[in-house]
Amino acid sequence: MQFSISLKTPFLNPFSSTIIVPIFIKKMISMASFNSNHFSSTITHHHLAIENNSSSSKSPLDSCKSMKHLKQLHSQMIRNGDIHDPIEQTRIIRFCCNHEVGDMDYARILFDQIPEPSLVIWNTMIQGYSQRKSPQSAAFLYLEMLERGFGPDNYTFPSLLKAFTREIALDCGKGFHAQIVKFGLDSNVFVQSALICVYFLSGQINIARRLFDKSSKRDVVSWNAMISGYNKIHCYEESQKLFIEMEKEKVQPTVVTLVSIASACAKLKDLQTGTQVHQYVKDCRIEATLKLENALVDMYAGCGRMDLSLELFENMKLRDVITWTTMVNGFNNTGQVNRARAFFNQMPERDYVSWTAMTNGYLKANRFKEALEIFREMQAANIRPDQFTMVSILTACAQLGALEVGEWIRVYIEKNKIKKDIFVGNALIDMFSKCGDVENARKIFREMTRRDKFTWTAIIHGLAVNGHGQEALDLFCRMIGSSITPDEVTYIGVLSACTHAGLVEEGRELFVRMISDHGIEPNVSHYGCMVDLLGRAGKLREAQEMIANMPMKPNSIVWGSLLGACRVHKDVDLAEMVARNLLELEPENGAVYVLLSNLYATCNRWDDLRKIRKIMTDKGIKKTPGCSLIEMNGVVHEFVAGDRSHSQSNEIYSKLDKMSRDLKLAGYVPDTSNVSLDVGEEEKETALYQHSEKLAIAFGLISSGPGITIRVVKNLRMCVDCHRAAKFISRLYEREVIVRDRLRFHHFRHGLCSCKDFW
């Protein structure tokens, strides 16, 4: 049957609330002046009678399972004349408003055919819009209800308020509160609970709390609204306090209460209260629903008790994807990544949340290649990722320097219209920066319509480590000018920019301004930046004085910065003193011995070098092997010094030999000063040629065409010789070579490096 009835209530674009909400407020104010006596109580009693009859009598609609079936029954009702029966009208509207199988557009058409809808029908329609997250439609329907002389009841406002967005709650919450009072519904606990939720949603926590504290009819629904509200704003301690108070007042909790408190305990790592929650289930005072059992599994996992999580998991009669994902997350968070993967592999069903959980597990364990591999598996399984998955994968790309994959993900986000929120934007800036692609990092930054302090911090850090120190400082000034307050992490980026660019005076000034302008007390990382800045500039004694005057105990990073500066400036006496302090903190730190041995080698102090090597041998301390990564055609290849395990090893070493001859003809002389071996020059040169970054560069040259940029990520600092060789390679082969070492980027172009040999 065809319908051609105009809609009385305007349908609203949910994205245009900035225009609609002020109009809505104006209408609300005019409605607030209505006298509640205007609405006839006899109408309400009549509607209650309809509701009671509709619940008790039989109808063909009781067996309806789909909209197709309903439309057939509707046609029959029109032919039979049953469509005018108020009870049948209520039933058919109720089915259409069902958020699982119904159709609100059809419900609206039917609704507009009813001359005088019952209050039950009005409430049902409002609830239907609410369940479909259409707050404007629900609100305007409520206004139409008032205009047509129907007053709200205890069921109207809970449904209406439940649909509110934060913006509508903020603009209209108090106006609705006034109407609730005017209609005498403020003492109803369900209405009170809905109002509490609205005030929490709008961020007016104090009003919500006052409303709760002044209520004379608080029941478990009100308590649940408060506890859930505190959870949503991450005030888990307040949730916990309310639960304790609730127990003191002998209010019996519900499943909703226990789920909220178990979640709070997971965040607080409060095993004692969490166990108390579980006791309600054990004592059979609360039925163990799947949702509650999932919350308990998560609580034990959050408290680090995976043994208790596993015991509960194994005893559960029903499990869903949330149960399994909770276990995967729990094992990941306790560092048991392999066990998490075993659970992941056993999952009967996986959603994008499960895949993201496993990806994050690999990220936390610094197993970035496996994070990318599981993303490829996710793609093969046709699971659509969301923005959180994208952030995780971009983080893995950033750590691996996998620019090709990162760029592919950026295109994937745009093509698949995945929400490109501020977190994705920040992750893209971080990825491009850590892959050495500063131009794209700048582009993403410029295109972002909304920026927070993390956005500015990411671009400042990115520019700093890529050798654009002055630009990083200029952006910091723009950040301050945009009224974005920097934090301690931002200042680490700014001070690092000064360090990498050798801007000593600017660094000193910023260190002072951090305290005077923004009240940020320097932590050990800020002092480490200043020691590094002064040390690199050759101001070793001033750096030493800064360490002596630090208000906290210097850590290994601070001492390590000074030791590195001693190596650069060949100050053996100070280096030995610094090394002693470092080894007191970390007796097994092999990097200290290596730096000291390199310094002895540079100064030809072979007896001291042999002593260091003997100490290392006696203590079983081994040098961390150099490891370099290079991405080619979306695959990350890994090399260690002297590595011959690669499938193209013969070609790589053949290229190395040719590189050696070409470089020497171009004037390159190997720098063997840092080779800590008391052997002949030829053996030293052989050791240098087999460094991991040279192997990676050779592989890049044979695996890519002319003019293609070669990008390498190394786990240690570049040695002097590799740095010199890379400059020659960039000029000789007309390639840009980008190496990210442990501390910064080196962009080699036309025989020069972006660090200006200051690293």
Mean pLDDT for the stretch of residues 183-190: 84
Highest mean pLDDT among 6-20, 407-421, 601-615: 407-421
Q: List the strands of the sheet with 737-740, edge to edge.
A: 635-640, 627-632, 710-714, 737-740, 745-749, 752-753
DSSP percent split of the chain into helix, strand, coil, nearest 5: 65, 5, 30
Read off the pLDDT of residues 115-163 as tens digits, 9 standing for 90 and up. 888 899 999 999 998 888 888 888 888 888 888 888 888 888 888 888 7
Is pLDDT at 34 greater than 80 in this prediction? no
Structure confidence at residue 277 (pLDDT): 94
Read off the pLDDT of residues 398-442 as tens digits, 9 standing for 90 and up. 999 999 999 999 999 999 888 889 999 999 999 999 999 999 999
CA distances to 162, 556, 558, 615 from 588, rounded to whole Å, are 59, 12, 17, 11
Phi-psi region of 561 (alpha: psi -120 to 50; beta: other; left: phi over 0): alpha
Q: Hey, how many other C-beta atoms are within 10 angstroms of the C-beta on 613? A: 17
645 against 42, higher pLDDT: 645
Residues in Cβ contact with 152 at an 8 Å cutoff, skipping those fewer than 6 apart = 142, 145, 146, 179, 183, 185
Q: 66: number of CA atoms within 13 Å, CB side?
A: 3
The pLDDT > 90 percentage for the chain reads 51
Read off the pLDDT of residues 271-316 as tens digits, 9 standing for 90 and up. 999 999 999 999 988 989 999 999 999 999 999 999 999 999 999 9
- Structure confidence at residue 45 as a pLDDT band (50, 70, 90): very low
Structure confidence at residue 609 (pLDDT): 82
Read off the pLDDT of residues 299-309 as tens digits, 9 standing for 90 and up. 999 999 999 99
Instruction: Select from 625, 600, 630 the least CA-distant residue to 613.
Output: 600
Dist CA 199 CA 201 (whole Å): 5
Read off the pLDDT of residues 320-335 as tens digits, 9 standing for 90 and up. 999 999 999 999 999 9
Would you say the C-alpha torsion 356, 357, 360, 366 has a positive or negative sign?
negative
Helix (H) or strand (E) holding 711, with range, is strand 710-714
- Structure confidence at residue 673 as a pLDDT band (50, 70, 90): low
Is pLDDT at 588 greater than 60 in this prediction? yes
- Structure confidence at residue 637 as a pLDDT band (50, 70, 90): very high
Is pLDDT at 598 greater than 60 in this prediction? yes
Q: 336: number of CA atoms within 13 Å, CB side?
A: 16
Is pLDDT at 7 greater than 70 in this prediction? no
Instruction: Select from 710, 703, 707, 659 the least CA-distant residue to 685.
Output: 659
Structure confidence at residue 620 (pLDDT): 81
Structure confidence at residue 57 (pLDDT): 60
Mean pLDDT for the stretch of residues 630-656: 91
Dist CA 181 CA 159 (whole Å): 17
Read off the pLDDT of residues 468-480 as tens digits, 9 standing for 90 and up. 999 999 999 999 9
Dist CA 450 CA 438 (whole Å): 20
Dist CA 215 CA 208 (whole Å): 11
Is pLDDT at 29 greater than 70 in this prediction? no
SS3 576: helix
Dist CA 529 CA 481 (whole Å): 24
Residues in Cβ contact with 18 at an 8 Å cutoff, skipping those fewer than 6 apart = 167
SS3 343: helix
SS3 629: strand
Is pLDDT at 248 greater than 80 in this prediction? yes
Dist CA 538 CA 531 (whole Å): 11
Is pLDDT at 746 greater than 50 in this prediction? yes
Per DSSP, helices labelled H in 450-487 are 453-465, 469-481
